[in-house]
Structure 1
Amino acid sequence: MIVAMKRVTLVLKANEKRSALKALRKLGLLHIDEVKSTNETIEELGASKSSLEKVIATLAGYEVEEYSTKALSKEKFTTLYESALDLIEERGLLSDQVQLKKVERERLREWGDFSPDQIKELAKHDIELSFYKVATRELTKLSGDDVSYIRLASSGKNVMIATVNSLLPEGVVGQKMTLPEHSLADMGSEIESIDQRLDQIEGEFAKIALHLDHFKAHLASVEQEERFEVVSASLQEEGLVAWLSGYLPAEGVDNFKEVATTEKWAYLIDEPGEEEPVPTLIKNRKWVDIIRPVFDILGTVPGYREYDISMWFLLFFAIFFAMIVGDAAYGLIFLIGGIAMHIKLKKANNAIILLYVLSLTSMVWGTITGTWFGSKAILEAVPFLKALVIPPIANYPELFGLEATDAQNMVMKICFIIGTVQLILACAMNVWRKLGERSLAFVADIGWLVMLAALYFLVLMLVIGTPVNLGLIASIVGISFVVVILFGGQAPGVPFLKGLAAGGANTFSTFLDTISAFSNIISYIRLFAVGMASLAIAQSFNSMASPMLKGFALPAGILVLVIGHGLNLVMGLLSVVVHGVRLNLLEFSGQLGMEWTGVNYNPFRETVESSKNTL
């Protein structure tokens, strides 16, 4: 359910704005219209926030058995914080240095170890050596020239030489070696020294990582302070008065009024305008709220005036997940994983409960279709599992005396039924909302509803070959199309003829939407197709491993099964994201007219306890 919001304009004394903001933050209800602005304080807090995030990201990479819970003084924390920043900078510099030295060492390795200082000393005595790497065939060009050179070493088809008191003649191709600052031995010592220091830094980081929770707490405090300053900068002032605006849940109006009266604020509370970017606050029953992690991962938020489809998303997503994964054994693996996470965390959060639901639906679908690791042999070996199968939708219908084509057609039909039901549900939701708005446009949605029902039979005829009365279908679709045109442009307060003209102007787009509605129903066949693909992959790996599951090849056969089914599991999860989510966010949401352009309700509130605001 999307919570109703109220528009709030708050007026207060300019010289009391900071104390007023603290009271407002403590209330924690008002979503403030923040204006992008900056000042020296905001910039400093932003820089501090970035530095803390860098430190936390570094420390999070170290495994710690138990984090320190001992309170830190402000001075002690500052010392640790500055040490961590210095170590990060030092590690970065040393890592760059050691990398450059290793590259230089590799460049010089083919030349062997020598002392650059000795080469420089020879130059002082008028013996200047220049070093080149030339192809072996190029040496013949030097024989006739008045060039003295020393052959030092060979490297494949190349030769390392040193010319004495001369450069390489123009006709000879060679690569000159730049004299290094240090010998290979010295470079090795320097690299070893740097590596030792890097090891010491790692040890120091491991010690500081014990206090990771303190850094996180300080970051939360800085973020809270930064937002306070941003909100403060968002206040508009004129003379002795300052004001701001925002949005408040209707259920929190009484609490706001109580605080406003105590603080002696002036305020105006009214309904948000139609075009205002009202934030979206969603509240659902606990059993529906388990789908929230999916929305959080996707980053999708419905607009304030759109639908909260959490319940329907959960219902259909569970069905889609089951049909795409399609294997009871895979569902059992997910269930075991959920139990393991539950035990480790010692509580079941929304993500774990959702995993339980998806696991169970996968097990149910896999059981009634007779799919356990995609193996026919398991069904034949375990009569109990075979007895649980519903033959008309079985993946191995031959075990029940049925044709594979008939079973596949039945599953496809189920996919189309699910799709049609979901799309018709969207139409029904639109009808209900527009009836509440007293908009004649609800008739157009009834037209879409009837059209979708007719198109379902057309899909069955084209895909499965089910005989239908094509003339009747065409008549229903045609009449529904006209109804949509007549009433699609109607709206509250709009004269009927004007709405009729608007609907007529959209005739071509309505025609395209009709084609889209047809394709949307067909789109649900992806549930069948992806499920069958997963089954085929499982069968392929089973066939590969079957000859090896005996004798000395048994470990290899088990490895093939583990890797094969592991890959299939991962691909199944990816398919759920691509296809299962898509059907909800595109086909279903599109029929609802949703654009998912909402903004999360983010009230100005305390995010850390008062006693922990500073360290």
Structure 2
Amino acid sequence: MIVEMKKLSLITLTADVENTLGLLRTLGVMHLDIKRGNSESLSALTDARALAQRALLILPDKGTGSPANAAGWEEDPSSLIRRILEIQNTVRDLYDELERLQREKSRLSAWGDFSPQDIVKLREKGIDIRLYILTKEQFESLDSSVQAFTIQKGKTAVYVVVVGEALAGAAETSLPSAGISEVRTQIDKVQTQIGDLSTEFNSLAAQKHVVQGKIDSIDTEMEFEQAKLSMDADSGISHIDGYVPEPQVRRIKSAASSNGWALMVRDPEDDDPVPTLVKNPKPVGIIAPIFKMLGTIPGYAEYDISFWFLVFFALFFAMIIGDGGYGAIFLGVSVTAIITLKAKGKKVGRELALLTFLSCCTIVWGAITGTWLGSPAIAEAMPFRLLIIPAISSFNPRSSQSIKYICFIIGTIQILLAHIWNFIAELRKKPRIKAFAQIGWMAIVYGIYFLVLNLVLDPDAYPLPPFALWLILGGLGLVVIFSEQQGKFFIGIGRGFASLFTTLLDGIGAFADIISYIRLFAVGLATIEIAKAFNQMAADMGNSIVGLVGAIFVLIVGHGLNIAMGALSVIVHGVRLNMLEFSGHLGMEWTGIQYAPFSEGTELQKDTTS
């Protein structure tokens, strides 16, 4: 359920703001109405967090060896972050230098190994030695009086050393600062530096937790600073607004009484940004990881569909995976993981509880449809054959119609449930007469159900009953009359007629929504047929040793691929039917704000759903 929230306005002395916020953070129950603001402290914290985040991102996932100053880094994470970034910048500069030296080495290779300092000394003694890179035409046109020594001849250029005066019409090559031997030495030195820094950098990866801890610490400081900026001050008095779960209000009142705060508690207004806190019993709470994965939070004024989502999602999962053998594999994985975690004294997460439940549902569906790794031999063996319901057996050619029929029944029930829920909710609001529009939608959906059976399945087996059209038309009339009621009956009817076109489109949408549940049959059938195909491929490989090895390989890869595709289909189709079709008829927009109480340390990241 969605926990009832109260809006609080807390007033305290401006001089006591930090102490007040510290006490609120210790209580850890008030979701603050944070206002955007800026300060030097917040800017400094933002910059520090950006540097820490950058350091965390550039560190490798796994370190090699142990850093020399592990204990010191724990005590001074800021120095660790600076060192990580310093190494990155230094290594980048060293790679630039290495690239320059490699180019210089390539340039000098044609001249051979010599010392530029020797040439400088000769020049100081009056012996002019000059380096030239000449074209073949320039080289061949040299005067015989020129003392030129050929170092290397290339396809397009000739490298020469000239003793004496400069050559007319030729550009002299500048003397390098170092010879090729010295350049090689410099390259080795730079490569050694890069290696040493890379080793240190990799060893620092073992300190990623220290960097993450620093980020968490900065986040805590930033939240505190933002809370300070959110407190409006006037004449020595400061106040801040927030939201507290109704069961926790007494704790805030007690703290206010003890610390001299003024407190105003009231129900939130419709346009207030009220956070959503979802709390459910443990059996229902196992569905929370799905909502967390999707990043969906119901609005405070919306519904908590956790229970019905779990019920239908389990059914969809079972029908889409469709194979009891696959369910047994999932169950084996989840049970093994649970046993391993318990043996290590670790907490078993809701994810494993959910997987265990879904696995059991899949095994049940596989048992009643006789689907075990797509093998008819297993289905016909005892005791599996006793569990099969023939009308929906995977190996019964006539079962397709029955499964489709079940899909449409499931879709109709789920959509009807949405409108029944809406009807009950509308009865609690004013004007209550508006709730009758939901009865109209129930009639429309029920009438469309018969229309779908007639059009999609078999018009002979499912003839359209006369009352189906009356249900659709009568329901449409109720929607037109009551859906826009806001207190003035006839004006509401007029608005209903004005929205008739939209209502007709919604009716067509309801028709499409019921039909969309056939995806449960289609995807489940694909899973079964793919399993059968891989089984047949394995069977056709013969009884030789090579054939058996090949068959085992095909079965492992084939069924593994089928399981992966089935899991993906669950996300695409199983989640969609709940999040779009069902939620759409409930009118949910999933625009909720996660309840995030102002609290200490890692409490800021704690899961407050279910």
TM-score by length of 1: 0.82
Residues 158-177 of structure 1: pairs in structure 2 closer than 5 A: 161-162=156-157
Structure 1 match to 2:26: 26
For 1:298 and 1:181, the matched residues in 2 are separated by: 62
Shift of 1:146: 7.7
Go from structure 1 to structure 2 and tell me whether the alpha carbon gap of 1:516 and 1:192 turns closer, same or farther (over 3 Å shift): farther
Structure 2 CA distance, aligned partners of 1:201 and 1:67? 12
Aligned to 2:51: 51
Aligned runs of 1:82-481 on 2, under 5 Å? Answer: 82-94=82-94, 114=110, 125=129, 128-129=132-133, 161-162=156-157, 196-205=192-201, 207-346=203-342, 347-380=347-380, 382-397=381-396, 404=397, 406-438=398-430, 439-465=432-458, 466-481=461-476
CA spacing shift, 1:513–1:542, aligned 2, 3 Å: same
Which residue of 573, 582, 596 corresponds with 1:579? 573
Q: Distance in 2 between matches of 1:187 and 1:288?
A: 70
Q: Percent identity at matched positions?
A: 37
Structure 1: which amino acid aligns with 2:528? L
SS of equivalent to 1:603? coil
What amino acid is aligned across from residue 578 of structure 1 in structure 2? V
Instruction: State the Cα deviation string for residues 196-253 of structure 1 (Å, max 9, x = none).
Output: 5455445434544444444433332221111000111111122212121111211111
CA RMSD of aligned residues (A): 3.7
Is the CA contact 2:21–2:224 (under 8 Å) kept in the aligned structure 1? yes
Give the Å deviation of 1:116.
7.5
Q: What letter matches 1:216 in structure 2?
A: Q
1:82 deviates by 3.5
> Which ranges in structure 1 are unaligned for 5 or more consecutive residues?
132-141, 154-159, 166-178, 398-403, 610-615
Greater mean deviation of Cα atoms: 311-320 or 564-573: 564-573
* Structure 1 position 163, deviation (Å): 5.0
- Deviation string 1:288-345 (CA, Å, 9 cap, x unpaired) is 1111111111110111000000111111111111111112222222222222332443
- Equivalent pairs counted in the alignment come to 566
CA contact (8 A) 2:408 2:517 kept: yes
Output the TM-score relative to the length of structure 2.
0.83
Which residue of structure 2 aligns with residue 170 of structure 1?
none
Contact 1:37 1:233 in 2 (8 A): yes
Is the CA contact (8 Å cut-off) linking 1:147 and 1:163 kept in structure 2?
no
1:591 shift after superposition: 0.2
CA deviation digits over 1:436-492, x for unaligned, max 9?
22421211111111211111111111111032235332221111111111111124x
Secondary structure at 1:9's aligned position in 2?
strand
Instruction: Supply the distance in 1 between the matched residues of 2:132 and 2:482 (Cα, whole angstroms).
Output: 95
In structure 1, C-alpha distance between the alignment counterparts of 2:375 and 2:538, rounded to whole Å: 12
Shift of 1:597: 0.6
Q: Deviations over 1:523-569 (max 9, x none)?
A: 00111111112222222322333233532233333222222222222
- 2:31 and 2:215 mapped to 1: Cα distance? 22
Q: Is the 8 A contact 2:111 2:151 kept in 1?
A: no
How many Å apart are 1:434 and its aligned residue?
Answer: 1.0
Change (3 A) 1:212 1:474: same
CA distance in 2: counterparts of 1:272 and 1:283, whole angstroms: 19
- State the alpha-carbon separation in 2 of the partners of residues 67 and 371 from structure 1: 55
* 1:137 aligned partner: none
SS at match of 1:482: helix
Cα separation, partners in 2 of 1:496 and 1:129, compared to 1, 3 Å: same
CA spacing shift, 1:208–1:495, aligned 2, 3 Å: same
SS in 2 for 1:2: coil
CA distances 1:372-409 after superposition (whole Å, capped 9, x unpaired): 222334335x3322332222111111xxxxxx1x2011
Cα distance between partner residues in 1 of 2:443 and 2:85: 66
Counterpart CA distance in 2 for 1:473 and 1:307 is 30
Contact in 2 for aligned 1:152/1:162 (Cα 8 Å): yes
Distance change >3 Å, CA 113–CA 559, structure 1 → 2: farther
Match of 2:16 in 1: 16
Paired residue type of 1:443: F
**CA gap 1:78/1:597 in 2 versus in 1, 3 angstroms:** closer
